[in-house]
């Protein structure tokens, strides 16, 4: 891990797209971080251990995603369960999982520990791959397609439910673990490491599947991939348990109802940006779930070429993340979010012009670059715009609404394909529709989010001058 992540930034440029009150770059560990001679300070040693554990957790989590989650639609196709079922495997189970994760604030309060809840959820998420591995090893059974599809959806629902339940608590927990002055640079670096792990898992999985396809052993290979994914997440859970944790005060977390959240959004407060995230998610998911069926089911590219296309996107993220961190430092999170949103709206429609495989690779790489900006800005926005006392409650609600938007978008896409027919031309028309809707959401964002938000978080939104220069 780079040691200069803990370095004090040397310059304080002007901010920002949306004005915000000045906030000093305070830290829970001021002496340890600001005094170069305090290398033996226990707080600094604890912080370094936390950063190292967080990096390993992120790397192993992304290995799981690359080798397991990413290949769920391909697994549904290999089981012969249909293209629409493959597209919906990341939609319907996600909504079921988002409903299950609504217990997260109650569970954190009951356990009195973010660490215990997040670690339990991570271990449960890893174990969700085991029934999928068993199904892949057993293989297809004629006449049992509906039962097999139900089994896949149940396991996927457990996977998403555990993962989403961990998210809000992890977000609140990390605010107390990662100091403000190193947060942007560390998470940019951690995200880059995670994308490298995701790329490694995905490329490894693609090569293994392509080799297995030539030997007629695709389903047994899926069993191996899902088993490895489970082990990776269990290792991730082990390192989550190694993080430090401060005691949670009885009144540390405040409940926010969905009605109160909607009232704040309508009043133009800081939470309004969450509405933009939901709208953009809906627009993206009109076409997003059907990319895999289009690649594997319509134009029938090999697993190797499919792996190369996905790898190009991950490489784009790895290359772009350091620059994204610098943009957040120099101009603020809002500007980075705007750049990312402008970049992602034409991506789906550009598939109408990607006729050759090199053009597809280039489009995927550019998509990775723009999604890197959008995703990093989203992560930082949660820290900046949501009050720390309300973050677990609000993000739990957001996860549910986010999943509902995802399912709504995928249902629109599925209905569109059912109407036009499942052929390459229908898929390309669907991609164009998604880009048009994204453009409308972006226009709304430009008009609705230009005014300053009126209710900053307990820690005010971080201006660009407070975000440390990434290493």
- At 9, the pLDDT band (50, 70, 90 cuts) reads very low
What's the CA gap between 362 and 366, in Å, rounded?
A: 6
Q: Would you give the DSSP letter of residue 14? A: -
Q: Is residue 308 a part of any domain in this protein?
A: yes
Do residues 311 and 203 touch, judged by C-beta distance below 8 A? yes
Q: Is residue 137 a part of any domain in this protein?
A: yes
pLDDT surpasses 60 at 440: yes
pLDDT surpasses 90 at 91: no
Alpha-carbon torsion 102, 105, 111, 113, what sign? positive
Whole-prediction pTM: 0.68
For residue 101, the model assigns a pLDDT of: 80
Mean of pLDDT values over 31-39: 43
Q: Is residue 372 a part of any domain in this protein?
A: yes
For residue 291, the domain's CATH number is 1.20.1250.20
Run of H or E residues at 428: helix 424-448
CA 242 to chain CA centroid, nearest Å: 23
Backbone conformation region of residue 23, classed left if phi is above 0, alpha if psi is from -120 to 50, else beta = beta
> Alpha helices, DSSP H only, in 215-299?
218-240, 258-266, 272-285, 291-293
Do residues 413 and 258 touch, judged by C-beta distance below 8 A? no
- At 276, the pLDDT band (50, 70, 90 cuts) reads confident
Close Cβ partners of 94 (under 8 Å, ≥ 6 residues apart):
156, 157, 160, 164, 403, 406, 407
Rounded to the nearest integer, the mean pLDDT of the chain is 79
| Model confidence pLDDT, tens digit, residues 48-58 | 899 999 999 99
What's the CA gap between 216 and 436, in Å, rounded?
A: 41
Q: Is residue 272 a part of any domain in this protein?
A: yes
pLDDT surpasses 90 at 120: yes
Residue whose tokens read 């189970």: 93
| Model confidence pLDDT, tens digit, residues 396-434 | 888 888 888 888 888 898 888 888 877 888 888 999 999
What's the CA gap between 197 and 181, in Å, rounded?
A: 26
What's the CA gap between 244 and 348, in Å, rounded?
A: 42
* 3-class DSSP state of 224: helix
Q: Is residue 276 a part of any domain in this protein?
A: yes
Backbone conformation region of residue 11, classed left if phi is above 0, alpha if psi is from -120 to 50, else beta = beta
Q: Is residue 180 a part of any domain in this protein?
A: yes
What's the CA gap between 200 and 339, in Å, rounded?
A: 27
- 269 against 396, higher pLDDT: 396
Q: Is residue 25 a part of any domain in this protein?
A: no
Q: Is residue 4 a part of any domain in this protein?
A: no
Return the percentage of the chain with pLDDT > 90, whole number.
20
For residue 309, the model assigns a pLDDT of: 87
Domain count, the chain: 1
What's the CA gap between 151 and 156, in Å, rounded?
A: 8
- Domain span at residue 333 reads 47-243+257-453
The answer to which of 16-25, 67-76, 404-413 has the lowest mean pLDDT is 16-25
């Amino acid at each position: 891990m780079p040691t200069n992540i803990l370095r004090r930034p040397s310059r304080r440029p002007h901010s920002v797209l949306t004005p915000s009150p000045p906030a000093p770059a305070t830290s829970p560990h001021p002496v340890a971080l600001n005094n170069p001679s305090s290398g033996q300070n226990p707080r600094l040693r604890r912080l370094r251990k936390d950063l190292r554990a967080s990096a390993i957790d992120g790397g192993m989590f992304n290995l799981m995603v690359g080798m397991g989650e990413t290949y769920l639609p391909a697994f549904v196709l290999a089981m012969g369960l249909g293209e629409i079922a493959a597209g919906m495997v990341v939609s319907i189970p996600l909504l079921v999982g988002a409903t299950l994760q609504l217990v997260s604030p109650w569970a954190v309060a009951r356990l009195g520990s973010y660490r215990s809840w997040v670690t339990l959820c991570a271990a449960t998420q890893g174990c969700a791959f085991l029934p999928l591995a068993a199904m892949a090893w057993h293989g297809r059974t004629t006449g049992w397609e509906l039962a097999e599809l139900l089994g896949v959806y149940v396991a996927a629902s457990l996977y998403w439910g555990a993962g989403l339940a961990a998210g809000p608590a992890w977000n609140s927990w990390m605010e107390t673990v990662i100091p403000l002055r190193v947060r942007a640079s560390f998470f940019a670096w951690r995200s880059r490491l995670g994308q490298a792990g995701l790329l490694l898992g995905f490329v490894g999985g693609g090569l293994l599947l392509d080799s297995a396809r030539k030997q007629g052993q695709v389903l047994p290979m899926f069993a191996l991939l899902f088993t490895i994914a489970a082990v990776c997440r269990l290792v991730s859970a082990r390192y989550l348990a190694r993080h430090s944790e401060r005691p949670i005060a009885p009144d540390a977390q405040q409940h926010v109802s969905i009605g109160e959240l909607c009232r704040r959004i309508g009043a133009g407060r800081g939470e309004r940006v969450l509405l933009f995230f939901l709208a953009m998610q809906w627009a993206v998911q009109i076409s997003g779930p059907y990319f895999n069926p289009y690649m594997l089911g319509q134009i029938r590219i090999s697993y190797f070429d499919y792996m190369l296309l996905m790898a190009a996107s991950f490489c784009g993220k790895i290359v772009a993340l350091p620059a994204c961190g610098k943009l957040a430092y120099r101009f603020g999170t809002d500007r980075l979010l705007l750049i990312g949103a402008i970049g992602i709206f034409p991506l789906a429609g550009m598939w109408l012009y990607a006729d050759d495989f090199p053009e597809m690779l280039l489009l995927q790489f550019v998509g990775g670059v723009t999604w890197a900006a959008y995703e990093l800005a989203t992560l930082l926005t949660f820290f900046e715009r949501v009050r720390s006392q309300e973050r677990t409650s609000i993000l739990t609600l957001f996860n549910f609404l986010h999943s509902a938007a995802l399912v709504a978008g995928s249902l629109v896409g599925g209905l569109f394909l059912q109407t036009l027919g499942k052929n390459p031309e229908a898929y390309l028309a669907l991609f164009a529709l998604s880009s048009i809707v994204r453009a409308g959401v972006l226009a709304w964002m430009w008009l609705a989010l230009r005014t300053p938000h009126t209710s900053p978080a307990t820690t005010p939104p971080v201006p660009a001058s407070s975000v440390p220069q990434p290493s």
